[in-house]
Structure 1
Amino acid sequence: MTTGASTPTYPARPRRSRLLRFLPLGIAAWLVLEIWLLTVVAGAASGFTVFLLLVAGFVLGSVVIKRAGRRAFRVLSETLQQQQSGGVLPQGERGAEGNGLMMLGGLLLMLPGLISDALGLLLLIPPLQKALSRYGERTFERKMREATPGTLGDAFQQARIHRPDGKVVPGEVIREDVPRGTGEDTGSPRPPLNS
């Protein structure tokens, strides 16, 4: 006996990206490598030397994060003072450039492990900070241009569409220049925007 009711169909689950698929495996391999390297150094020198290296990395990382935070706060307060006084913000001045990478370097220094310490020290080198910053900006801009509907990049693109007064205007574009009956416009009523 059939009831005539069909089972609901659910949309297919989107595939996980390669990065998200292999990220847990990469983190596990990194942790094993860090522990192995610490045991090798402890065997070559002593356990106390490894302890001193870890403490020194933690202290240096906290100093770096504190310095980057103060620099970012100083740039923010100067920007706010210039805006309140009616001054024009200089476009070429980038006083806060590298603060994020400096904080990331400090965080990597604070994590226990020698590989993370080496990566943290590399992120403190100014030419490398500038190169990584430029690469990150180019990658972000490329991903924004390639944004497809339904992705996070598309949400950022949609958020950038707003009126001159700053209000976001949701809607759809109705092309007046397409004559009816050409295949693009069927003449049927359009579904509502919010679904």
Structure 2
Amino acid sequence: MTTGVPTPTAPRRRSPARTILPLAVAAWLILEIWLLSLVAGAAGGGTVALLLAGGMVLGVVVIKRAGRRAFKNLTETFQQAQTGAAPTPQQPGTGNGLTMLAGLLLILPGLLSDVAGLFLLLPPVRTWISRRTARAVERKMASAPAGTFGDAFQQARIHYPDGKVVQGEVIREDRPQGSGPAPGSDAGGYRPPLTP
């Protein structure tokens, strides 16, 4: 009989983001409510309602415009791919993701989110944020251990830069001739050619 000596296991540490994020969201909500009450006390409730409604309308317009621009870019890329031309590379900060995030921040009720959304609409700010994000992602991908999703993505980019897929099958040559058909094959009979 074996004695079940429990092995001491250290408790898993929570990541700092999981600890800080809920506190940051709670502090942000409290600050938004406090600022709205200050503006309502100074300028009146109607002014606060107009500010919130104006932010929502502006956010919807920004998201709609960014969505149209993204669809236009997508159709242009498809047309370039059909003609065989190389797609034109996009400049940093000209993407629509940060513009849509700015629109979303404008739609959220609150003054801080409106200020952050308006700040994010400035092209130099978008360029700076997109460059910093791209560098952070590249660093994270480079430091990813082997066997992770980041490593697989990096290998796919290195070995297949054009993204072509070649259909085919694997034929094992190390099997003895008299051992019968391979498992999963159609009794070792006819095999269609690889070319269409």
Bin of the TM-score, shorter chain as denominator length: 0.7 to 0.9
The equivalent residue for 1:176 is none
Pair 1:62–1:13, CA change in 2 (3 A) = farther
For residues 106-125 of structure 1, what are the structure 2 equivalents within 5 Å? 106-125=103-122
The equivalent residue for 1:25 is 23
The equivalent residue for 2:153 is 159
The equivalent residue for 1:136 is 133
1:50: Cα distance to partner? 0.3
The equivalent residue for 2:33 is 35
**Percent of aligned pairs sharing the same letter:** 52
1:7: Cα distance to partner? 7.3
The equivalent residue for 2:87 is 89
CA distance in structure 2 between the partners assigned to 1:144 and 1:41 by the alignment? 45
The equivalent residue for 1:51 is 49
CA distance in structure 2 between the partners assigned to 1:39 and 1:73 by the alignment? 40
Pair 1:149–1:10, CA change in 2 (3 A) = farther
Pair 1:7–1:90, CA change in 2 (3 A) = same
SS of residue in 2 equivalent to 1:87: coil
For structure 2, the 5+ residue unaligned runs are 167-196
1:14: Cα distance to partner? 4.3
For structure 1, the 5+ residue unaligned runs are 168-195
SS of residue in 1 equivalent to 2:139: helix
Contact 2:93–2:127 at 8 Å: present in 1 too? Answer: no
CA distance in structure 2 between the partners assigned to 1:143 and 1:119 by the alignment? 26
1:143: Cα distance to partner? 1.4
1:17: Cα distance to partner? 1.9
Pair 1:10–1:80, CA change in 2 (3 A) = farther
SS of residue in 2 equivalent to 1:161: helix
Q: TM-score, normalised by structure 2?
A: 0.73
Q: TM-score, normalised by structure 1?
A: 0.73
Contact 1:57–1:110 at 8 Å: present in 2 too? Answer: yes
Letter aligned with residue 43 of structure 1: G
SS of residue in 2 equivalent to 1:160: helix
Larger Rg: 2
